[in-house]
Structure 1
Amino acid sequence: MADPRFYEPARPLSISQLEKLSGASFEGLAPDGLSVSGVAPIEAMAAGFLSYAEKGAETPVNGAVVLTVQKHAASLRDAGCIVGISDNPRAAFARSAGHIFVGKELVQGEAEIHETARVFPGAFISAGARIGAECIIEPNAVIGPGVEIGEGAIIRANAVVTFAVIGGGSIIGSSSVVGKTGFAVVLGIEDKLRVPHFGRAIIGKDVSIGASCSVDRGLFGDTLIGDNVQIDNFCQIAHNVKIGKGTVMAAYAGISGSTTIGENCLFAGRCATTDNITIGNNVVMLADAAAMYDIPDGERWGGSPAMPARNYLKQLTQLRKMSGIKGAQGKKARR
């Protein structure tokens, strides 16, 4: 459910209002007087809350309001859900969910700032934020409502932190943005829609995030960065990504949505992943590697698409032989 530190209800929607906004059809089957008062992912449905299901739902909840396609409507109704039918449930949700719950805006007012914290001129700290002991908030940094900054953390100049919890001792680099909306776009329709986000960005203790990085908040759940993760400059961490403690990423890493990365991994420069994959613990990614598949613990991968490093290096060797390039010449050419 949306964290009340960061989100607030806008207004309940009646079924007729929901039909108009979403474009879904409830076929006159919703009880009279029913309204929708919240939003939730399909795996955490609640009575009176709006969700969407593109592939059905294993554990539907009585009284939940679900936008879905025609073929799943009957089974969800039989389980007690209030069902709206749409050819594109994700688009229907995107059109309507932001009218039910909204993110809190920056607002002047009292924040909880520890007496030992240092806040430089030009920094803006929104009402409801909490700044811990010995923190440093540098010039022109922006701290959003509800944000918690742990003891000894440093927010560098021009950084923006919203919808986030920052652990003690962590550093957010200059011009980095933590907690912004992720890049969730509804495809297959003429007018592309951005899906509203209701999650958070949770940064562990002693994390270092370099300059000009972006860490998106989760769509429903959280984007999680574990303790002692070290992220270089110009890196992108998408919504709902999970990074295990002790992992290190060099510059220009791009981690796609809902990717899970284990502990103590090493990503060389310009590494990337596709979405919804799992990378195990102690994995090494060579420079320019692009992971398209799950990677087991302890492996070393390279190439695009990425493969075990031994296979990748064999391919490079074969290509050089086929092209007549010797090792020394290849090194000279790379310079």
Structure 2
Amino acid sequence: MADPRFYESARPLSVPEIESLSGASFEGLAPDGVSANDVAPVGEMRSGALSYADGRPSSAVAGAIVLTKPDFAEQFREAGCIVGVTNNPRAAYARTAGHIFAERPLASGEASIDPSAIIHPGAFIAAGASIGANAVIEPNAVIGPGVEIGEGALIRANAVISFATIGARTEIGSCTVVGKTGFAIVLGAEQRIKVPHFGRAIIGSDASIGASCSIDRGVFGDTEIGDNCQIDNFCQIAHNVQIGSGTVMAAFAGISGSTKIGRDCLFAGRCATTDNITIGNNVVLLADSAAMYDIPDGEKWGGSPAMPARNFLKQLTQMRRLAGIKGAQGKKARRD
């Protein structure tokens, strides 16, 4: 269920409405009166919620409304799902889900602000936001509807916080944006369709997020950054990323969607990851590394694509030797 602090229920969608919006065909098999009043990822489907699936079901729930490909439709029907058939389930979902929930508008109104909090001139606090004791909101910062700012937190000038909770004593740097939609798009043949986001961005206590960073909220679930994480300037954290407590990232880190990063990791400058990988606890990534595979606990990796550091450094040494031999041969050839 979308968090009601940030999203409001637009209205349930009947099966004919879903069919019209999505372009999927329910082939007349949906019972009368069925409607979707929620959204859910396919792994957490539930009765009355709209999901999409690009593959065969690992689990299915009777009464769930699923948009899926023709090859898998019958398997979902056998499990009791109400099935819409389409060649592009993700695009069909993207065209439909935003009609079930809507983002709460950025509007002024009553907010909960502790008397000890300091709100500088020009800061905007939206209706329904909550500002904790001794928190500081600097000039021109924007705090969106329903956002929670913890006790003693510091929101620097021009930061924009939406669809998020910020822990106690956490600092958000100037011009950083927390809680915006991620780069989840469907690459259709005729148009690009943005997938609606109904998750949140959750940042723990005693964390520090640098200036000009971007932290996306989740598509269904949450993007989470744990307690005592230290994120440098100009870092990008994509939707549904999970970062364990105590992890440190130097400038220009780029973490792709649904990546899971453990506790107490250290990312040197300009590190990046591909999406949907798992990086263990106490992992070190050398500067300019591009992690494209799961990394076990306690390892040090480097290179692009990243590999265990001993292999990367060995490879680098061999390349330098080859370059040196080539250079010496070139000088000999010119003398001859």
Q: TM-score category by the smaller chain?
A: over 0.9
Residue 58 of structure 1: CA displacement? 2.1
CA distance in 2, matches of 1:201, 1:143: 13
Residue 188 of structure 1: CA displacement? 4.1
CA distance in 2, matches of 1:27, 1:151: 54
CA-to-aligned-CA distance 1:217-239 (integer Å, 9 cap, x gap): 01100001000000000000000
- Paired position in structure 1 for 2:41: 41
- Paired position in structure 2 for 1:101: 101
Residue 152 of structure 1: CA displacement? 0.2
CA distance in 1, matches of 2:137, 2:50: 38
TM-score by length of 2: 0.95
Aligned: 1:66 with 2:66: yes
8 Å CA contact retained: 2:38, 2:50 = yes
Q: Which amino acid aligns with 2:283?
A: V
Helix, strand or coil at the partner of 1:96: helix
- Paired position in structure 1 for 2:329: none
- Paired position in structure 2 for 1:125: 125
- Paired position in structure 1 for 2:309: 309
CA distance in 2, matches of 1:309, 1:196: 39
Q: 1:325 to 1:116 in 2, by over 3 A?
A: farther
Residue 167 of structure 1: CA displacement? 0.3
> Within 5 Å, which residues of 2 pair with 1:14-163?
14-163=14-163
Q: Which amino acid aligns with 2:165?
A: V
Helix, strand or coil at the partner of 2:98: helix
CA distance in 2, matches of 1:207, 1:168: 9
CA distance in 1, matches of 2:14, 2:121: 46
Helix, strand or coil at the partner of 2:297: coil
CA-to-aligned-CA distance 1:277-316 (integer Å, 9 cap, x gap): 0111111100000000001111111100001111111111
CA distance in 2, matches of 1:189, 1:276: 25
CA-to-aligned-CA distance 1:30-50 (integer Å, 9 cap, x gap): 111222111111122121111
Helix, strand or coil at the partner of 1:73: helix
Helix, strand or coil at the partner of 1:46: coil
Residue 59 of structure 1: CA displacement? 2.1
Identity %: 72
Q: Which amino acid aligns with 1:301?
A: W
CA-to-aligned-CA distance 1:104-151 (integer Å, 9 cap, x gap): 111110100000000011111110000000000000100111110110
CA distance in 2, matches of 1:306, 1:325: 26
- Paired position in structure 1 for 2:210: 210
Residue 202 of structure 1: CA displacement? 0.5
- Paired position in structure 2 for 1:228: 228
Aligned: 1:250 with 2:250: yes
CA distance in 2, matches of 1:44, 1:259: 19
CA-to-aligned-CA distance 1:200-226 (integer Å, 9 cap, x gap): 000000010000000000110000100
Aligned residues between the structures: 326
- Paired position in structure 2 for 1:290: 290
Helix, strand or coil at the partner of 2:83: strand
Residue 80 of structure 1: CA displacement? 1.0
CA-to-aligned-CA distance 1:12-35 (integer Å, 9 cap, x gap): 211111111101000011111222
CA distance in 2, matches of 1:30, 1:37: 15
CA distance in 2, matches of 1:314, 1:45: 48
CA distance in 1, matches of 2:274, 2:325: 32
CA distance in 1, matches of 2:136, 2:57: 46
CA distance in 1, matches of 2:146, 2:59: 32
Helix, strand or coil at the partner of 1:66: strand
8 Å CA contact retained: 2:112, 2:128 = yes
> Structure 1 stretches (4+) deviating beyond 4 angstroms?
none
CA distance in 1, matches of 2:174, 2:208: 11
8 Å CA contact retained: 2:174, 2:211 = yes
- Paired position in structure 2 for 1:331: none
CA-to-aligned-CA distance 1:224-278 (integer Å, 9 cap, x gap): 1000000000000000000011000000000000001111110000000000001
Helix, strand or coil at the partner of 1:324: helix
TM-score by length of 1: 0.96
Residue 197 of structure 1: CA displacement? 0.4
8 Å CA contact retained: 2:91, 2:188 = no
- Paired position in structure 2 for 1:169: 169
- Paired position in structure 2 for 1:333: none
CA distance in 2, matches of 1:57, 1:197: 23
